[in-house]
Amino acid sequence: MRGDVGAAVDTYLAELPGGPEEPGAAARRAYAEHHDPARALREFPPHFRFERQLLDHLARGQPPERALRALSRELRLLFVHAYQALVFNRWVSRRVGLGLSLAEPEEGDVLLRVARDGTVPGTHAIPVRSDNLPECGDLVRRGRALVAGPLVGFETPPSVGRPGAILEELLAEEGITRRGFEVPSAPDLASRGTWRPALVAMPPIALRPDAPTDADSATRGPALWFDFALPKGSYATVLLREFTKTGARPAEGGQSTRVF
């Protein structure tokens, strides 16, 4: 997003997102010190194929821009989408921290209509203005629309009101602009941007006890299966965190209750 492809490649090869004990940590630490791609090819485990793709091109003297293009477009596009989701998550968190509702719209918000089949397309957003605020509030209260947050891109409109001020503050903190999502170094990854509902209705959840079927499951302790479906753009990990965030509590017999 900032146009520094060399830093992006270094991040992918040398950062330790899982901590110092993650697989391949020693190879990443070594590369951060020597930056020798030929040596790193000998040090990175064979199954680190994406890292090795980058290193192979770097070892042949190719610049970072060309080395990064060795990765599939789907994977490189995931980097952009993941960053959009990160900004969205921070927008939601900051909004909540400022005491602004995620359910009731205010001037500067954007609404997404709920389709007849219950889906919420990210296009055809409705800007909330002072002259349509009562109607927008009515749509949300009747379940016909949802307050949405930005998956920012180069066509994300200018910010308005307090919701827009939050976005501008985040972009400034991140050191990026909307134009960064044109990705001049890789135009095939450009993103116009879209919108995502800030809230998703709690889905029906079917709970059933775990029925051990092998020795492994029989020794892992009591467990529950959660059976539910979420719309696109929502994540089971976030929902399950609401059930597990207080930490595992000892069950009868001293075992920990776990969720699978």
- Phi and psi at residue 193, in whole multiples of 5°? 95, 160
The pLDDT mean for the chain works out to: 87
Write out residues in the chain with pLDDT < 70, as ranges: 18-20, 210-222, 246-260
- Give 149-203 as a DSSP string: EEE--TTPPPP-HHHHHHHHHHHHHHT--GGGGG-TT-GGG----EEEES--PPP
pLDDT (0 to 100) of residue 149: 95
Q: pTM for the full model?
A: 0.82
Cα torsion angle, 35, 40, 43, 45, sign: positive
Cα torsion angle, 121, 191, 81, 72, sign: positive
Chain-centroid distance, C-alpha 256: 29
Ranges of beta strands (E only) in the chain are 110-113, 126-127, 145-151, 194-197, 206-209, 223-227, 258-259
Question: Any residues with CB less than 8 A from the CB of 41 and at least 6 apart, and which?
Answer: 52, 55, 56, 59
User: Using a CB cutoff of 8 Å and minimum separation of 24, what contacts does 234-241 make?
Assistant: 234/200, 239/203
pLDDT per position as a tens digit, 165-177: 999 999 999 999 9
pLDDT (0 to 100) of residue 60: 95
pLDDT per position as a tens digit, 95-149: 999 999 999 999 999 999 998 887 888 777 999 999 999 999 999 999 999 999 9
Contact (Cβ atoms closer than 8 angstroms) between residue 55 and residue 44: yes
Give the C-alpha separation, 165 to 94, whole Å.
11
> Domains plus CATH for the chain?
5-68 (no CATH), 73-197 (3.30.2350.20), 206-259 (no CATH)
Contact (Cβ atoms closer than 8 angstroms) between residue 89 and residue 67: no
pLDDT (0 to 100) of residue 20: 67
